[in-house]
């Protein structure tokens, strides 16, 4: 009897080991490389290098009378160009993104009531099917908080999760008809305030993955220079700062699995002018706020020879100082892209997202990201 029990235990252990190995293989999914393409930029989407991307998010659709819709005359043509990229990359997924900084003003209203949530969810499906998208991405900036003239209310925290649940049910119903899985994703803020005003521990259950906007730590509201996308906290920081590492840690603490977290990287910098000329402009007051500067434009500026290249080793962040014009630029270089790709892999994250494709027209950053993610 004892020998029979031992034999059965051995069989069970063997079966468990086989199951564990199978799970490891199933969980070893390729890392995502997700690029936003902005329809309002003067850029031809057919030039997107689809071979280097797993997902494209087309931005943005607006909310009008409780329904989601595209507002630009060029949207249909640009969307068709993106969908056509599947001919070169059949595995490519193309989603459309709703909201963004300017068009998040109606989210709180549509999320507030059961009837408006259903109406919005149904319109998401209609627009998705009309253009042949693979899913929907919500960029609500921000639930429960002030942003760009957006409505917000205390109940946004609960209503956001309810809205995502309604959209997920609508996507699954459509998916059963089409025998496919449609994606639902969101873009999230990187600070503690975003975590406090949402319930990501519950919300993530409706989501395929979450694009964490690990940038704009110092931005267009700040008359103060600083790193806008540093990977780690800076020992030079004089104020309450942020970092990519901290942003990811907050999401993990909120209950989101690491594999669902996508680290966002910027293909642009932030520029301040008339900066107090101390410490090469870092963490100094300025007469302007931090405006967005495309990566390609920063490369052009460097040709003047007026900018000193600097690096904050503690933050793993590059910056530029033009003493002649008192101009400070926080920017992302291939060095930072490579470090963040390593961070993503070391911490078991789901991949990388970037804003925005046209800002890196020579693909220097994209090439680094693709290569680093693949290694």
Residues with a catalytic annotation lie at 141
Alpha carbons 171 and 137: distance in angstroms, whole number = 12
CA contacts within 13 A on the Cβ side of 210: 31
Closest by CA to 215, choosing from 231, 204, 199, 200, is 231
Alpha carbons 375 and 372: distance in angstroms, whole number = 5
- Could you give the angle at which helices 156-178 and 114-131 cross, rounded to 10 degrees? 40
Name the 3-class secondary structure at 229: coil
- DSSP secondary-structure letter at 275? B
- Could you give the angle at which helices 114-131 and 75-84 cross, rounded to 10 degrees? 60
Structure tokens at 47: 């030039």
Alpha carbons 122 and 127: distance in angstroms, whole number = 9
């Amino acid at each position: 009897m004892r020998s029979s029990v031992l034999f059965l235990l051995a069989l069970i252990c063997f079966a468990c080991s086989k199951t564990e190995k199978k799970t490891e293989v199933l969980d070893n999914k390729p890392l995502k490389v997700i690029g936003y393409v902005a329809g309002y930029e003067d850029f031809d989407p057919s030039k997107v290098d689809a071979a280097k991307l797993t997902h494209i998010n087309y931005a943005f659709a607006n909310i009008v009378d409780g329904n989601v819709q595209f507002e630009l005359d060029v949207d249909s043509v640009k969307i068709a160009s993106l969908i056509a990229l599947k001919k070169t990359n059949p595995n490519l997924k193309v989603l459309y993104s709703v909201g963004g900084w300017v068009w998040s003003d109606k989210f709180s209203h549509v999320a507030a009531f059961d009837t408006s949530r259903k109406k919005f969810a149904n319109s998401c499906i209609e627009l998705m099917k009309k253009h042949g998208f693979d899913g929907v991405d919500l960029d609500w900036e921000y639930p429960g908080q002030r942003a760009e003239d957006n409505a917000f209310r205390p109940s946004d925290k609960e209503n956001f999760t309810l809205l995502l649940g309604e959209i997920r049910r609508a996507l699954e119903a459509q998916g059963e008809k089409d025998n496919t899985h449609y994606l639902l994703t969101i873009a999230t803020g990187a600070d503690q305030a975003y975590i406090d005003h949402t319930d990501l521990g519950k919300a993530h259950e409706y989501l395929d993955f979450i694009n964490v906007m690990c940038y704009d730590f110092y931005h267009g509201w700040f008359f103060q220079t600083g790193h806008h996308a540093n990977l780690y906290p800076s020992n030079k920081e004089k104020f309450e700062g942020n970092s990519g590492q901290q942003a990811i840690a907050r999401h993990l603490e909120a209950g989101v699995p690491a594999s669902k977290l996508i680290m966002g990287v910027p293909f642009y910098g932030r520029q301040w002018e008339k900066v107090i000329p101390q410490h090469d402009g870092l963490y100094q007051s300025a007469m302007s706020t931090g405006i967005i500067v495309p990566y390609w434009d920063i490369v052009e500026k460097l040709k003047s020879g007026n900018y000193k290249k600097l690096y904050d080793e503690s933050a793993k962040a590059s910056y530029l100082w033009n003493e002649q014009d008192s101009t400070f630029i926080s920017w992302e270089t291939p060095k930072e892209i490579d470090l963040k790709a390593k961070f993503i892999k070391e911490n078991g994250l789901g991949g990388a997202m970037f804003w925005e494709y046209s800002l890196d027209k020579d693909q220097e950053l994209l090439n680094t990201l693709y290569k680093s993610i693949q290694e």
